[in-house]
Structure formats: C-alpha cells, structure tokens
Amino acid sequence: MDPLWIFGYGSLMWRPDIPYEECRIGYIRGWERRFYQGSTDHRGVPGAPGRVVTLLPKSGALCWGVAFKVPHVETEKVLAQLDHREKGGYQREQVRFDGRDAELPAVEVLVYRAAPDNPEYLGPADMQDMAQQIRVSCGPSGPNLEYLIQLVAFLRRHDLPDAHAHELLAHAEAS
C-alpha cells in the first residue's frame, strides 16, 4: 500500500495536529489558494462566518504548502480526524505534489478542497470587504484574523509566494 500524504495549504501548514513521519515544502500545480470559503465551525459562527482558504483551479498557477507523510498505522485515524475537521464543505481530491527539493520524487497527495457548489462557499468579494469580515470574525478555533496572520507568517518564514494572502493581510492591517 502506498503511503498517505496530506497536502496542507491553510492552517494545517502552521498547526499540523496530525501525526506525520516526514514533511516537505512544495507545491501543487494548477491550483490557487483563495479566502473564498466560509467557516461557521472554526473561524466564525452561523450567521457570521469567517473566511478561510480553499483551492480554485487555475491554469499555470502554483499553490505552495506542505505535504505530510502519515505513518501507515495512523492512516484511518488521520483520515477520520481530517474528515471531521474539514466537514464544512470540503471534499477530498488526489493531486501531484512537487517538493521544493527537486531531488525528491513527486508524490500523490490527498488535499481537502471546498468547491464553489458547497453551502459554506462565500466566493470572491472586494479585498477590503474580505479583510473587514476576517477582522471581526471569531469562532471556536479563535479569531479569523489570527488564521490569516499565521498563514502569511508561515509563507514569509519559508519564502513562499501568495499575492492574494499578502494583499488581504495588508488590507486587514491597514484598517
């Protein structure tokens, strides 16, 4: 059986609360990270959702993140944990992951992505409006702004590009 690799592109990058035996920084091709998914169970509440990231297909795009290799004996437990954590509109997909270290082989990763047809999907909005929503939203996992700050801090610490996240944080900090 092939090992299970999970791709983190949101809070899993900076708060990987799953057991793993290896992690690699790298990217998936053809996807972009966007703050278009509503969160009423982690970074917001029903009636006042926060905004968290999802992936949208885009030709030529690269979404940088982290691939985590799950120990074989933990596979079922990790999948159950992530299925619960990502229950708010996310679905599983298999994609190819290329590591920043080009000497390591590419691997197939499991990624949780919220498609636009799920009931929590908020979609695009004016950058200032999204920043305002993130500034005021809070849920059981904490303030939505913390999520954005931690995400951008991880990207900066590892020198990973993401113009959307950086611009959104700049708007959130300016107000």
Which residues in the chain come in under a pLDDT of 50? Answer: none
Contact present, 31 and 109 (Cβ < 8 Å) = no
- Please report the pLDDT score of residue 1 as a whole number: 60
Backbone angles phi, psi at 121, to 5 degrees: -65, 130
Catalytic site residue 22? Answer: no
Residues 6+ apart with CB under 8 A from 23: 16, 66, 67, 68, 69
- Please report the pLDDT score of residue 148 as a whole number: 98
Query: pLDDT tens digits for 6-53?
Result: 999 999 999 999 999 999 999 999 999 999 999 999 999 999 999 999
In this structure, which topology does domain 4-174 adopt according to CATH?
Hypothetical upf0131 protein ytfp (3.10.490)
Q: Which of 76, 86, 93, 167 is catalytic?
A: 86
C-alpha to C-alpha distance for 80 and 119, rounded to whole angstroms: 21
Q: What is the DSSP letter of 87?
A: T
Q: For residue 54, with 0-12 CB atoms within 10 Å meaning exposed, 13-18 middle and 19 or more buried, which class applies?
A: buried
Region label for 145, one of left (φ > 0), alpha (ψ between -120 and 50) or beta (otherwise): alpha
Whole-model pTM: value is 0.95
